[in-house]
């Protein structure tokens, strides 16, 4: 519906260009011509229209930015945990900027902007450039750079009992993504567009070289690259909107492991009287591929009481895989119980994977207070390798379907209810796990859901929303998939006064998988209360605060792989309190110089299977120095403690000083 309204507005603008053209001035008489020419000479330096004159008076170019420096007064505790959670460094920063140009009188450029934040070493940085002319084109370029670091000593570390604090799945990588799109003739009914997206990642980490009876953590190099090209056309008419897109993808994903040092691995004792170790390793994974995809989107309103929508996407990626391995040391083959000192492998693979996705939806409004919304979606993919020696067990098939229908009725002007039904089904065929005797394994999913909801606006200041979902399943694909569950969400808002708003939310999920699907119990509950307070319209004081209380409980039984008859038990629970608040005080209101002080922060305290305490108080001060220049400063403290993992705690004092030019 929104798309159709937008199409109508844009088409109206396009049709109204000629209608809004100012009338031609009347021809001047001979006796008035000298006076008119003198008047033109007097106004030659001014703009021809009032709007353009106002733009020039304010200036067509505007810029504001914040620049400064951050420092850490020492990081006490575990540096790897600090970098996994906070990862803020020191040094000069261009914290944010926003520059814009608006010059309607230019022939090929009406507006342009350039904005961003976080450049200079922060883990997340972003910039965006946009330019365009309403009649001819619209250009948008977006670039993001994000650093990912994870090296929590207690995670994926089987050697922790020996006092070795090394995460065997750690990584230190950076992702860069650039997206550009050019749209031609934005106000026309038929609008072509072209786009390009590049996504790259690179870094280092630790991975395990897995051999029979032992695993060896070694350094690894990570790198991947994806280039996506796309082009299409958008057609916007009074009763329908159609988008057709064609594109292609080129991608590469590589990982290499290597070491020349003796590595005893995770096995601390001899195996059958011999010590296993790794002395040399070269291991390379390389996946290269390409794909061509086609997309289509359609929204239509054939009559005033019916909205239709549909989408289709098809792609057929092809992958070429190369694996090379050369290792030396002392190893064992569990099947034959033979020891060996070296191994060389080279494996090639290729596959095609046709992938089709489609969905269709409709909204029917037969009466003023009653409407029906329905949708259906299907997602299908499979391997279609042509290699003669590919075993049938390596074939992958995946089918996922869901259909949903809901009826919504407006009982009164302030009360509406809805009810619906959702059916989800699917199946998959894949290589069977190692302990399963069959070559392939088939999984199925059958799920039925009852939906309900209500919206009640007691007054213009008080409103409540409620949503409920009750689901029962005959089969699920994974052991930890939700099977039989109830989900409830409640939301309320109370506008006490124009400057004070209270709100609350409640979410509840209770899942129970029956014994025939492997017993699994999962329950989560969260309650949150918050307020927004803006006395005197927020001119002097502004306050936001929120408190949340949550609980999580997970209970799972499993078979121990060493002894299939033994039953293991995994139990996790967490009870947490979370508080976030910020108070801003604009001092000396009415003065030319108005300093602004902000105080607040966040706090997270939990107990249960992994108690954690996290504190982050913050104080900010902004003080005007002179016209258009402000001094900005900030103090922030980070503190994390875990009673069961004391070695993962840390504390850090951080400060920022800079200037804001506006």
Span 306-346, pLDDT tens digits = 999 999 999 999 999 999 999 999 999 988 999 999 999 99
Within a 13 Å sphere around the CA of 612, how many CA atoms are in the beta-carbon half? Answer: 18
The answer to whether 454 and 465 are in contact (CB under 8 A) is yes
Q: How far is C-alpha 608 from the geometric centre of its chain's CA atoms? A: 29
Task: Name the token pair of 280.
Answer: 């040399």
pLDDT tens digits, one per residue of 597-621: 999 999 999 999 999 999 999 999 9
pLDDT at 442: 80
Instruction: Indicate the average pLDDT of the chain.
Output: 87
Question: What DSSP element (H or E) covers 5?
Answer: helix 2-19
Report how far apart, in Å, the C-alpha atoms of 452 and of each of 66, 410, 449, 468, 493 are. Answer: 48, 14, 10, 5, 20
End-to-end, the C-alpha distance of the chain in Å comes to 40
pLDDT at 435: 55
Q: How far apart are CA 44 and CA 630, in angstroms?
A: 39
Query: Does 12 score more than 60 pLDDT?
Result: no
pLDDT at 35: 43
Can you tell me the mean pLDDT for 384-410? 79
Percent of the chain with pLDDT over 70: 86
The answer to whether 219 and 210 are in contact (CB under 8 A) is no
| Domains of the chain in sequence order | 355-477 (2.40.160)
Query: Does 182 score more than 70 pLDDT?
Result: yes
CB atoms within 10 A of CB 348: 10
Q: CA 601, 604, 610 angle in degrees (round to 5)?
A: 155
Q: How far apart are CA 614 and CA 121, in angstroms?
A: 24
pLDDT tens digits, one per residue of 67-120: 999 999 889 999 999 999 999 989 999 999 999 999 888 889 999 999 999 999
Q: How far apart are CA 487 and CA 503, in angstroms?
A: 20
pLDDT at 528: 98
Q: How far apart are CA 593 and CA 607, in angstroms?
A: 47
SS3 readout for 225-285: EEEEEEEEEEEECCCEEEEEEEEEEEEEEEEEEEECCCECCCCCCCECCECCEEEEEEEEE
Pairing assessment for the beta strands 462-475 and 484-497 based on DSSP bridges: antiparallel
Query: Does 376 score more than 90 pLDDT?
Result: yes
Query: Does 14 score more than 50 pLDDT?
Result: no
Q: How large is the C-alpha radius of gyration of the chain?
A: 32
Among candidates 249, 209, 258, 256, which has minimal Cα distance to 229? 249
Task: Name the token pair of 575.
Answer: 């009870």
CB neighbours of 303 closer than 8 A, spacing ≥ 6?
none
Report how far apart, in Å, the C-alpha atoms of 622 and of each of 583, 602, 626 are. Answer: 14, 21, 12
Q: How far apart are CA 103 and CA 113, in angstroms?
A: 12
Q: Residue with structure tokens 């069959």?
A: 438
Higher pLDDT, 453 or 105: 453
The answer to whether 652 and 618 are in contact (CB under 8 A) is no
Q: Residue with structure tokens 């900027």?
A: 97
Classify residue 80 as exposed, middle or buried by CB count within 10 Å of its CB (0-12, 13-18, 19+): buried
Q: How far apart are CA 387 and CA 383, in angstroms?
A: 11
Using DSSP, state whether 82 is helix, strand or coil: helix
pLDDT at 520: 87
Q: How far apart are CA 200 and CA 144, in angstroms?
A: 11
């Amino acid at each position: 519906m929104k798309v159709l309204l937008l199409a109508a507005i844009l088409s109206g603008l396009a049709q109204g260009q000629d209608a809004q053209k100012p009338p031609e001035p009347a021809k001047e008489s001979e006796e008035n011509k000298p006076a008119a020419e003198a008047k033109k000479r007097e106004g030659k330096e001014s703009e021809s229209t009032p709007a353009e004159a106002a733009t020039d008076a304010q200036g067509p170019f505007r810029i504001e930015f914040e620049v400064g420096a951050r420092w850490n007064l020492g990081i006490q505790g575990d540096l790897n945990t600090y970098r996994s959670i906070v990862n803020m460094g020191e040094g000069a920063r261009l914290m944010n900027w926003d520059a814009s140009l608006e010059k309607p009188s230019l022939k090929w450029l009406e507006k342009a902007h350039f904005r961003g934040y976080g450049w200079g070493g922060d883990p997340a940085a972003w910039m965006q450039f946009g330019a365009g002319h309403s009649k001819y084109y619209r250009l948008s370029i977006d670039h993001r750079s994000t650093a990912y670091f994870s090296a929590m000593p207690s995670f994926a570390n089987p050697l922790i009992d020996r006092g070795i604090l090394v995460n065997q799945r750690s990584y230190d990588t950076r992702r860069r993504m650039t997206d550009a799109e050019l749209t031609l003739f934005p106000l026309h009914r038929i609008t072509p567009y072209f786009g390009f997206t590049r996504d790259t990642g690179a870094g280092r980490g630790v991975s395990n070289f897995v051999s029979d009876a032992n695993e060896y953590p070694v350094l690894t190099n990570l790198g991947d690259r994806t280039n996506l090209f796309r082009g299409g056309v958008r057609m916007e008419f009074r009763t329908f909107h159609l988008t057709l897109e064609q594109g292609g993808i080129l991608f590469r994903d590589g990982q290499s492991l290597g070491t020349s040092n003796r590595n005893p691995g995770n096995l601390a004792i001899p195996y059958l009287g011999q010590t296993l170790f790794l002395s040399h390793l070269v291991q390379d994974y390389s996946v290269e591929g390409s794909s061509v995809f086609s997309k289509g989107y359609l929204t239509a309103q054939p009559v005033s009481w019916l909205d239709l929508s549909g989408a289709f996407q098809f792609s057929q990626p092809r992958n070429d895989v190369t694996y090379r391995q050369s290792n030396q040391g002392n190893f064992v083959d569990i099947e034959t119980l033979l020891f060996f000192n070296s191994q060389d492998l080279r494996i090639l693979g290729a596959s095609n994977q046709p992938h089709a996705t489609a969905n269709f939806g409709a909204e029917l409004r037969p009466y003023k207070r009653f409407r029906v919304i329905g949708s259906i979606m299907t997602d299908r993919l499979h391997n279609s390798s042509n290699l003669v020696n590919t075993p049938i067990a390596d074939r992958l098939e995946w089918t996922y379907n869901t259909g949903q229908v809901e009826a919504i009725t407006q009982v009164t002007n302030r009360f509406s209810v809805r009810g619906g039904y959702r059916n989800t089904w699917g199946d998959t065929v894949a290589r069977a796990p190692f302990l399963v005797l069959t070559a392939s394994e088939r999984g199925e999913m059958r799920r039925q859901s009852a939906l309900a909801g209500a919206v009640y606006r007691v007054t213009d200041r008080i409103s409540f929303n409620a949503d409920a979902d009750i689901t029962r399943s005959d089969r699920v694909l994974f052991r930890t998939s939700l099977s039989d569950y109830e989900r409830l969400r409640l939301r309320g808002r109370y506008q006490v006064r124009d400057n004070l708003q209270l709100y609350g939310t409640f979410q509840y999920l209770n899942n129970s998988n029956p014994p025939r699907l492997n017993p699994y119990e999962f329950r989560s509950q969260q309650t949150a209360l918050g307020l927004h307070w803006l006395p005197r319209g927020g001119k002097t004081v502004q306050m936001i605060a929120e408190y949340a209380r949550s609980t999580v409980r997970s209970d799972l039984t499993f078979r121990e792989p060493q002894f299939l008859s033994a039953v293991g038990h995994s139990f996790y629970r967490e009870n947490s309190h979370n508080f976030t608040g910020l108070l801003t005080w604009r001092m000396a209101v009415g003065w030319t110089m108005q300093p602004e002080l902000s105080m607040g922060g966040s706090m997270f305290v939990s107990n249960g299977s992994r108690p954690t305490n996290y504190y982050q108080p913050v104080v900010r001060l902004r003080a005007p120095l002179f016209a258009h220049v402000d001094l900005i400063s900030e103090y922030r403290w980070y503190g994390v403690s875990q009673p069961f993992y004391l070695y993962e705690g840390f504390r850090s004092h951080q400060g920022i000083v800079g200037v804001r030019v506006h």
